[in-house]
Amino acid sequence: MSEARVTLSEAVARDWDVIVIGTGIGGGTVGRHLAEQGLSVLFVERGPAGVRAEEHALNPTLWGEEARLVRGYWPKPLHATVNGVSTTFHAPLGAGVGGSSVFYAAALERPAPHDLDSSDDIPHPTGGWPVTYAEMDPYFAKAEALYRVCGDRDPLGPDKDLPDGPKMTPSDQALFDEMTAIGLHPYKGHLALRHLKDKAVYLGRKCPNGSKMDGRSAGVEPALETGNAALLDRCMVTEIDHTGEDVTGVRVSSREGTARLTARAYVLAAGALHSPRVLMASGGLGNGADLVGRNLMFHLNEMLALWPKRAARAEGASKALAFRDLYLQNGARFGMVQALGVEAQYGEVVHYLNMAFDRSRLRRQKWLRQFTRIPAALAVKLFGSAKVFVGILEDLPYAQNRVTFDPNDPDRLAITYDMAPELLQRRKAFRAALKRRLKGVRMAFVSAAPELNFGHPCGTLRFGDDPQTSVLDRNCKLHGVENLWVVDASFMPTSMGVNPSLTIAANALRVGEKIAIRLHNREDGDV
Binding residues vs other proteins (CB under 8 A): 51-56, 59, 71, 206, 208, 346, 373-374, 377, 380-381
Indicate the pairing of strand 442-445 with strand 297-307. antiparallel
CA 87 to chain centre: 22
- Residue 244 to residue 242: CA distance in whole angstroms: 6
Q: What is the DSSP letter of 490?
A: G
Is 175 in contact with 202 (CB distance < 8 Å)?
no
Is the CB of 181 or the CB of 374 nearer to other proteins? 374
Is 22 in contact with 41 (CB distance < 8 Å)?
no
Is the CB of 59 or the CB of 169 nearer to other proteins? 59
Is the CB of 145 or the CB of 377 nearer to other proteins? 377
Q: What is the DSSP string of 201-240?
A: ---SB--TTS-B-SIIIIIIHHHHHTTSEEEE-SEEEEEE
Indicate the pairing of strand 78-82 with strand 413-417. parallel
Is the CB of 71 or the CB of 431 nearer to other proteins? 71
Question: In the complex, what is the shortest distance from the CB of residue 71 to other proteins, in angstroms, rounded to a whole number?
Answer: 6
CA 510 to chain centre: 18
Q: What's the chain's length in residues?
A: 527
Is the CB of 185 or the CB of 205 nearer to other proteins? 205
The CA–CA distances, whole Å, from 144 to 193, 214, 270, 475 equal 10, 12, 22, 21
Is the CB of 51 or the CB of 399 nearer to other proteins? 51
Question: In the complex, what is the shortest distance from the CB of residue 214 to other proteins, in angstroms, rounded to a whole number?
Answer: 17
CA–CA–CA angle 288, 19, 91 (5° rounding): 70
Is the CB of 1 or the CB of 443 nearer to other proteins? 1
The CA–CA distances, whole Å, from 99 to 28, 96, 311 equal 9, 5, 36
Is the CB of 208 or the CB of 450 nearer to other proteins? 208
Is the CB of 49 or the CB of 149 nearer to other proteins? 49
Q: Which residues of 273-300 are buried (b: 16+ CB within 10 A; e: fewer)?
A: bbbbbbbbbbeebbbeeebbbbbbbbbb
Give the amino acid at 376: A
Is 60 in contact with 454 (CB distance < 8 Å)?
no
